[in-house]
A and B are shown apart, each in its own frame.
Chain A
Amino acid sequence: MQELLTKISDAIYDGDNELSAELAQKAIDEGIAPETIINEGGVVGLERLGKAFDEMEAFLPELMLGGEAMHELLDVVRPHLKKSDGVVNATVVLGCAQGDLHDIGLNLVATQLSVGGFNVINLGTDTSVSEFIDTAVKNDASIIGVSSLLTTSAYYQDELIKKLVKDGLRDRFKVIVGGGPITPEWTEKIGADGYSRTANQAVQLCKRLVSGEQGVLVIE
């Protein structure tokens, strides 16, 4: 079993989508528990990538491709998960606010959330309020995350929450916000559910939110 898990970890580290999915299926067929495949295979590969990134041995493209390979792995494994498996089974819709083309931070958050076991739908840059909401409704998401590097696009974080309230959808989704000018004060002011300063912290934030924690959560 360990040999197969190591191969899965390597496939994630190498950003090999096809191999990740193939090995995940093989592991399922061999009766390895889904949470073991995720935590001791995929997550280990991504943790190795994170360490390599910190030490300048891997870079943003490797992180992105590793995140995508993890996505493929989760697509195979997720149908076999039970609620009691203790693995996150929630969808997060992410994007940059309208008019904002700065997606480096957004992509890092998307990758880290994939690593954390979330199903991530990354809408990319310049995403309208309607697109966020429509996608979240269509995919039965738990969380909507809006990134903004500029205060003129951060206004759309406020707009999104106002529209959710207006459409009677506010209780259906948790809304998290982030980006350079975003502060805990702004998060509270617009009535968002959470804020984190870094991509790593966004995973903790989302896990706490889907576990039902109430109030405005801030991780700095």
Chain B
Amino acid sequence: MASVQRITEMLARIKEGESCTTHDWDNRVVPKTVRQILKKYDLMHTYKPETPVNQDMELADRYFAAGLELAEVLGVQCTDTETIVRFSKEELLRALKEAPSELTLGSGSDKVTLSARGPEDETKPLFCTSLSIQIDEPLYPELVSQLVAYKGVDILQGPSIDTIFGIPAFSGTPFETAAGIREAKLRSEALWKAGRPGMQQMGMSSSVTEFGFMCGYPASQTPGDPMIGICLQPSELKTNYCNFNKVLTTAAFGGFLRTGCPSMIGGYSGPPEGSAVANIASDILQFALFGTDISNCSMYDVRLNSACCRTGLWAMSVSVQATSRNTHTILDKIINQSAGPCTEDILYTNAAGLITTCVSGMELTTGPRSAGGAMKNYLTPLEAYFCADAFKAAAGLKLDKALEIVDYCLTKYEEHVDDQPKGKSYYDCYDRKTRQPIPEWKAMDERVREDLNKRGLNI
């Protein structure tokens, strides 16, 4: 759990750090250093397309050593001060040692325990729903109460709203502040409707900048049950003041921290191998920089805007295996689906991504990211339930069995992974009177579950 004093001291340290422009950091420092580390640890060309779930644990350990060194050599760049904060190896290892291996979340009958896992672990991971997909404000209580009513859902992040009482929520203004406060009220209503008032919450979703967070977070608190603060940075190995404002707010209210920044295959860290090393370094640095409780450094391939492709699955598997085998920390990586509701693609990509991360040792995931998270109201309870079940069903699978199932799933969508179908909106694939999926969507879900059951995933 972060402290205001520690975070303030870190801010002072960043301010005094070595100067580096964001342009140089992104385009010269990160690419060059990643290449040097890959070469030093003999990791170039270790990406094997035929094993999207890595089977080589020695390789995973070598990746961890490389990620640790990358974290030490690079540190983190702050885009506001254009300075770098670096950590010694001892500092990084101490931060990892001091990170929690278990968190008790929620209260009453909704209380759950989030525990560190390893590859092939039989302990079931936890599932948080959904990503911050924008939905109509009046739809929030109806849709979110259905999302959280499901027994497989452990934590609420929830969608976001882009209006407040019908008025546009302009980002970076008091309108966004109001959106955060409004979301807090809607969350509370949805949890009450679902009969799960003690469920652990993560927030805020309607917070593009810190404005929505700094009032919405306190407004969502329940006594003695602090919210997990989501404090994310758009790209890897960087931070900014906006994120620190969110971290400080969380610390002030005694909440748990979920911090992170995504790594992009094809982006600044280069090939899948480079992105995997950068992702491990990013995870390690979250603990040193913020004293985070949950590291949330996800991955995606910039060409496809997804991590459910072969490169993304492989890189996620190596990264999670590396960190889960060599630390006791808690990770949450988002699989970044891009298909939408009422398509088989979203179900098979959910299965491929979540089997990969679960069997590699991940403790928590947040999803779904239906239709790439870009289409308003393209989110339904059915794919969220599927995610929860697939993720948990993968616990205890062996890596080779997981590979077999993931390979099978890839045959269902890989040919068109660069152009996944966006599907239908909630309004088009749910009957709002009965609150049930339309027959077409229900049948699709049943068909894919049956298919995966036959393949050995007990979903």
A78 to chain B, nearest CB (A): 23
Q: How many residues of A contact B (CB 8 A)?
A: 27
Which one of B1-9, B215-223, B265-273 contacts A?
A: B265-273
**A59 contacts across to B, CB distance below 8 A:** 31, 266-271, 274
Among A99, A149, A151, point to the contact of B172 (Cβ < 8 A): A99
For A187-212 the 0/1 string (1 means CB < 8 A from B) is 00000000000000000000000000
Interface-centre pick from B173, B208, B209, B242 (highest chain A CB count, 10 A): B208
B-contacting residues, A28-71, CB 8 Å: 53-54, 56, 59-61, 64-65
Q: Does B260 contact A (CB under 8 A)?
A: no
- When the two chains form their complex, are residues A61 and B28 in contact, meaning their CB atoms are under 8 A apart? yes
Interface pair B169/A60, CB less than 8 Å apart: no
Contact at B170–A60, with CB atoms within 8 Å? no
Pick 24 A–B contacts, CB within 8 A, sort by A. A59-B31, A59-B266, A59-B269, A61-B26, A61-B27, A61-B31, A64-B26, A65-B27, A97-B171, A98-B171, A99-B171, A99-B172, A100-B171, A101-B242, A104-B234, A104-B235, A151-B162, A152-B168, A152-B170, A153-B171, A159-B170, A180-B372, A180-B373, A181-B134
Indicate whether A104 sits within 8 Å of B302 (C-beta atoms), given known contacts A99-B176, A151-B376, A180-B372.
yes
Other 17 A-B pairs with CB < 8 A, given A101-B234, A152-B170: A56-B272, A56-B311, A59-B270, A59-B274, A60-B264, A61-B30, A64-B27, A97-B171, A99-B171, A99-B208, A102-B234, A104-B267, A104-B302, A151-B134, A152-B134, A152-B179, A155-B162
- Are B208 and A152 in contact (CB-based, < 8 A)? yes
The 8 A-B pairs with the shortest beta carbon distances in the complex, nearest first, are A99-B171, A99-B172, A180-B374, A152-B171, A61-B27, A59-B270, A151-B162, A61-B31
Judge whether B123 is part of the interface by a CB distance below 8 angstroms. no
A156–B176 Cα gap in the complex (Å)?
Answer: 13
Number of interface residues of B (CB under 8 A): 40
User: What is the bound-complex CA distance between A197 and B169, given in angstroms?
Assistant: 24
Complex interface residues of chain B between 225 and 244 (CB less than 8 A to chain A): 234-235, 240, 242
Interchain CA distance A151-B160 in the complex, whole Å: 10
B27-A53 in contact (CB<8A): no
> Roughly how many angstroms separate A156 CA and B169 CA in the complex, as a whole number?
10
Would A56 and B271 count as touching, CB distance under 8 A? yes
In the bound complex, what is the Cα–Cα distance between A149 and B373 (angstroms)?
10
A65 to B271, CA, bound (A): 17
Q: Assess whether A126 is interfacial by the CB under 8 Å rule.
A: yes
Main secondary structure of the interface of B (DSSP, over half): loop
- The residue of chain A having its C-beta at the shortest distance from the C-beta of B270 within the complex is A59
Asked if B303 is at the interface (CB within 8 A of a chain A CB), the reply is yes
- Count: A-B pairs, CB below 8 Å: 91
Question: Cβ of A181 and Cβ of B267 under 8 Å apart?
Answer: no
| A180 to chain B: closest residue by CB | B374
Q: Is B375 an interface residue (CB 8 A)?
A: yes
Indicate whether A90 reaches chain B with its CB closer than 8 angstroms.
no
In the bound complex, residues from chain B placing their C-beta under 8 Å from that of A56 are 266, 271-272, 311
Query: What is the interface of chain A, defined by CB distance below 8 A to chain B?
Result: 53-54, 56, 59-61, 64-65, 97-104, 126, 149-153, 155-156, 159, 180-181
Contact between chains at B162 and A152 (CB < 8 Å) = yes
Instruction: Report Cα–Cα, A1/B268, bound state, in Å.
Output: 35
CA distance A104 to B265 in the complex (A): 12
List of A residues within 8 angstroms of B31 by Cβ: 59, 61
B26-A152 in contact (CB<8A): no
Closest to B132 in A: A150
* Alpha-carbon distance A101/B209, docked complex (angstroms): 9
Residues of A within 8 A of B303 (CB): 53-54
Among B179, B270, B375, the one with the most A-chain Cβ atoms within 10 Å of its Cβ is B270
Contact among B28, B172, B242 with A98 in the assembled complex (CB-CB below 8 Å): B172
B171: chain A residues within 8 A (beta carbon): 97-100, 150, 152-153, 155-156
* CA A152 to CA B242, docked complex, whole Å: 16
Q: Which residues of A contact B240 (CB under 8 A)?
A: 101
Are B376's CB and A181's CB within 8 A? yes
> CA A4 – CA B117 in complex, angstroms?
59
Q: Which residues of B, 164-202, contact A by the 8 Å Cβ criterion?
A: 168-173, 176, 179
Q: Which of B240, B272, B302 has the most CB atoms of chain A within a 10 A radius of its CB?
A: B302
